[in-house]
Amino acid sequence: MKLVLHSYTFRRYPLRHVFAVARRYGWDGVELVHFHFDPARVEDEVAAAVALGRRYGVAIHCVGYTGGFVGDDPVDRAASLALARRTIDACARHGIELVNGWSGTLERDPDDWRRNGSAIAEERHYDRAAEGYRQLGEYAGRLGVRVGVEVYPGSVHDTVATTARLLDMVDHPAVFATADPGNAYVVSPADRDPEILDQFAGRLGYFHLKNLHPDGGRANFNVDTADGVLDNYAWITKASALGVPAICVEYCGTGDPHPPIARAGNYVRDCLALRDDLDRRHQVAESVPVGMSRPTGSPVLAGAEAAAVLAAEGAAALAGAPGSGR
């Protein structure tokens, strides 16, 4: 699984800073969003970003698009889709296999995410979103690019359920879901349980990770990835079990983003290492014949030798040894 740094984290810094930080902390790639390029010049901007990333030894994993193809103006919808196609073209030209974004927003109350997006969407909005993504899926599929539909506040796909509904309507293999539990927590109580990701089984192509504290109808993102109300160990391991190929970490709060994003990378790696260690411990414990056990307070193992090996493996994994995910 790849670990990707979202460039929004460093939205107040130049792109070269994003690449330098990504290299410093060993991230596998960067998600490039419009804070670091001009969408109107997407061809030249993506080319320049790719060249800059090569100088730092960091690849662009994904490029963001901002859709606007659910509104009432057909001219605006056509222009939005044309720009998304140009973004896909630019990615295909440079071997970037993923674009990610949303179809547009419907807003009634900017201070309460629960009153926007799917809460006020009508069937025509879903029809427009589905038709737009069918077009983009056909176009991107021919070029070897995939289109991510992010669970995003204010969009018709602002929860897992509404995103799954839209994907059912689109029904194209090049169009898939980007889960973002931090975006949906305030919008939908159902989106507070990692098991809801089963609705994306076979269609979860990307994952955005952050954390939050609820603030009325909005989210307060001034919190580390390991803190807040989301049990991100559960979300990370669930997404991994569903085969997600990459997790993109972002810090959306204010202040200095460097400490929280550095801690976030280590946190994700340690979650995966802990998951692997616990899986090994479960396997060993479940291999012990019925009636055999070790004294209370010690791991249940198949013998002293197995206990020693398992302890050594666990310590190595959590220390970041090869194979631990670090």
pLDDT in tens, 157-190: 999 999 999 999 999 999 999 999 999 999 999 9
CATH of 2-254, one of 3.60.20.10, 3.40.30.10, 3.40.50.720, 3.20.20.150: 3.20.20.150
pLDDT at 288: 82
Identify the three-state secondary structure at position 143: helix
Q: Note the pLDDT of residue 324.
A: 31
| pLDDT band of 131, cuts 50, 70, 90 | very high
pLDDT in the model for residue 289: 83
Residue 136: strand, helix, or coil:
helix
Sequence-ordered list of residues with C-beta below 8 angstroms from that of 322, at least 6 positions apart, any chain: none
Sequence length of the chain is 326
Task: Report pLDDT digits (tens) over 48-100.
Answer: 999 999 999 999 999 999 999 999 999 999 999 999 999 999 999 999 999 99
Given a cut of 80, is residue 322 above it in pLDDT? no
Domain spans, the chain: 2-254, 276-318
Quick one: tokens of 132? 């737009």
pLDDT on residue 290? 73
Q: Is residue 305 scored above 90 in pLDDT? A: no
Q: What is the DSSP letter of 289?
A: P
Bridge pairing between strands 146-150 and 175-179 = parallel
- Rounded-to-10 torsion of CA 149, 179, 216, 69: 0
Q: What is the pTM of this model?
A: 0.89
In angstroms, the CA 212 to CA 11 distance is 19
